[in-house]
């Protein structure tokens, strides 16, 4: 009887072990899922040596290891191996093929991933994915088709160039500021760029950059005739009467300060930065490849210039210096609530209130060129409207931090404020923009 019970117990233990073995080793018989992406998209056929590839692996048992190798003919070269100690349910590994030093031509990318199951005596299930690719390690060639431009500090310039192939990204870098170029006819690009007023000529070194679909990049110094310019100083007197008249609007702009003077200083400083950032964002996010403007820009008729671009303003209250700022446009004044014409053909990409600028309209003209109109008492257009040169946009006013009824007119290239005087000069536009742009079409 005892012997029979012992046999039964042994059988139950063996059955339990077998069941446990089956649960541990047979519950997960599939390897991890594996996929590739480049720039967030499915991997394309051509790839450059410095283009980042991301491998994504996932498994319910967790991911233990990812191995990457390349095969060319009968030879296989191991490149990378990554072990995940925390065995996440999904894992990502980014790499380039630069270390492989592959020549031009076809090869096979091989990725093997193992899960964290007990299969294979704790080695885990493995799965392999192969992808046929073509190594492209030739940098794109670019040829500038226009003569080196003369560009003044605070001003604009345009170049046209051709490329040996279609480009994914191209344009001109000025330090860390990127001015995108836009495709015109086949493999031809036009780029408007600026000489920021904040840079002296000794620090202005534009570079042209071209990146192809495989991730190969060409960079070279862009030859320009950079002309330095010193901007005049300007004294702006702020009175107690002005602060009283602006009290309601200052509270609207800066509700978290106590006095009108505190609100004014905050608005003229920190809020100004935020408002300028909004302008830059709109200009950069809503650019189109086709130039729709024609010739020079129209200004407020019968008006006088009350302030110029680049003025280094010093603000005084009761003869005491209280602030310093730079004026980034032209102020045109005529009669109160005069009709503001659109400077040129374009699309309304912003129509609303923007802090120190008050009621403001931004027009997009193509190739990264924008014009702004601010301090308006009334806005007569809405976002998305297409307007013709001279079409009414609204009325001049004193909204924002305006001193007296006027319109602040600004021109922006790639989100950077530039000298409006150039764009309202027919001769300058013809010689520096129109004739050059004609080479792109």
Q: According to the 3-state scheme, what is the secondary structure of the chain?
A: CHHHHHHHHHHHHHHHHHHHHHHHHHCCCCCCEEEEEECCEECCCEECCCCCEEEEEECCCCEEEEEEEEEECCEEEEEEEEECCCCCCEEEEEECCHHHCCCCEEEEEEEEEEECCCHHHHCCCEEEEEEEEEECCCCCCEEECCCCCEEECCCEEEEEEEECCCEEEEEEEECCEEEECEECCCCEEEEEEECCCCCCHHHCCCEEEEEECCCCEEEEECCCEEECCCCCEEEEEECHHHHHHCHHHHHHHCCCCCCHHHHHHHHHHHHHHHHHHHHHHHHHHCCCCCCCCCCCCCCCCCCEEEECCCCEEEEEECCEEEEEEECCCEEEECCCCCEEECCCCEEEEEEEECHHHCEEEEEEEECCEEEEEEEECEECCCCCCEECCCCEEEECECCCCCCCCEEEEEEEECCEEECHHHHCCHHHHHHHHHHHHHHHC
Whether the CB-CB separation of 42 and 23 falls below 8 Å is answered with no
pLDDT at position 1 is 56
The tokens for 336 are: 């109160």
pLDDT at position 25 is 47
pLDDT at position 20 is 47
pLDDT at position 403 is 87
pTM above 0.75, yes or no: yes
| Positions in the chain whose pLDDT score sits under 50 | 18-26
Q: Which of 192, 191, 194, 217 is nearest to 204 (CA)?
A: 194
The structure tokens 């509700």 sit at: 255
Handedness of CA 112, 114, 119, 123 (dihedral sign): positive
pLDDT in tens, 311-369: 999 999 998 999 999 999 999 999 999 999 999 999 999 999 999 999 999 999 999 99
pLDDT at position 10 is 62
């Amino acid at each position: 009887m005892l012997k029979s019970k012992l046999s039964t117990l042994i059988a139950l233990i063996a059955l339990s072990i077998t069941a446990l073995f089956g649960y541990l080793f047979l519950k997960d018989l599939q390897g991890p899922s594996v996929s590739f992406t480049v720039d967030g998209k499915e991997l394309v056929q051509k790839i450059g040596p410095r283009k980042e590839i991301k491998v994504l692996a996932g498994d319910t048992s967790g991911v233990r290891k990812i191995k990457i190798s390349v095969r060319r003919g009968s030879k296989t070269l191991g490149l990378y191996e990554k072990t995940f100690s925390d065995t996440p349910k999904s894992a990502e590994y980014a790499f380039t093929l630069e270390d492989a030093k592959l020549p031009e031509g076809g090869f096979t990318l091989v990725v093997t991933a193992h899960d964290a199951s007990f299969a294979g005596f704790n080695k885990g299930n493995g799965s392999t994915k192969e992808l046929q690719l073509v190594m492209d390690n030739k940098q794109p060639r670019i040829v500038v088709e226009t003569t080196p431009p003369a560009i003044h500090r605070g001003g604009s310039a345009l170049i046209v160039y051709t490329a040996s192939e279609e480009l994914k990204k191209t344009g001109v870098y000025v330090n860390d500021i990127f001015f995108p170029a836009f495709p015109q006819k086949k493999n031809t690009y036009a780029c408007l760029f600026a000489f920021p007023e904040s840079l002296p000529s000794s620090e202005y070194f534009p570079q042209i950059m071209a990146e192809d679909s495989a991730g190969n990049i060409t960079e070279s110094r862009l030859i320009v005739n950079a002309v330095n310019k010193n901007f005049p100083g300007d004294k702006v007197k702020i009175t107690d009467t002005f602060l009283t008249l602006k009290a309601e609007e200052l509270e609207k702009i800066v509700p978290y300060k106590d006095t009108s003077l505190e609100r004014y200083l905050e608005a003229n400083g920190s809020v100004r930065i935020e408002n300028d950032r909004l302008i830059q964002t709109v200009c950069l996010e809503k650019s189109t490849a086709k130039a729709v403007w024609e010739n020079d820009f129209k200004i407020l008729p019968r008006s006088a210039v009350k302030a110029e671009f680049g003025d280094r303003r010093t603000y005084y209250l009761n003869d005491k210096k209280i602030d310093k700022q730079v004026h980034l446009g032209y102020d045109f004044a005529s009669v109160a609530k005069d009709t503001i014409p659109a400077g040129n053909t374009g699309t309304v990409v912003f129509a609303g209130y923007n802090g120190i600028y008050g009621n403001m309209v931004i027009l997009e003209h193509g190739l990264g060129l924008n014009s702004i109109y601010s301090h308006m008492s009334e806005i007569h257009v809405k976002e998305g409207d297409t307007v013709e040169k001279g079409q009414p946009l609204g009325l001049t006013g004193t909204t924002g931090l305006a001193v007296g009824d006027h319109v602040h007119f600004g021109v922006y290239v790639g989100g950077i404020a530039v000298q409006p005087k150039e764009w309202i000069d027919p001769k300058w536009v013809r010689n520096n923009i129109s004739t050059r742009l004609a080479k792109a079409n």
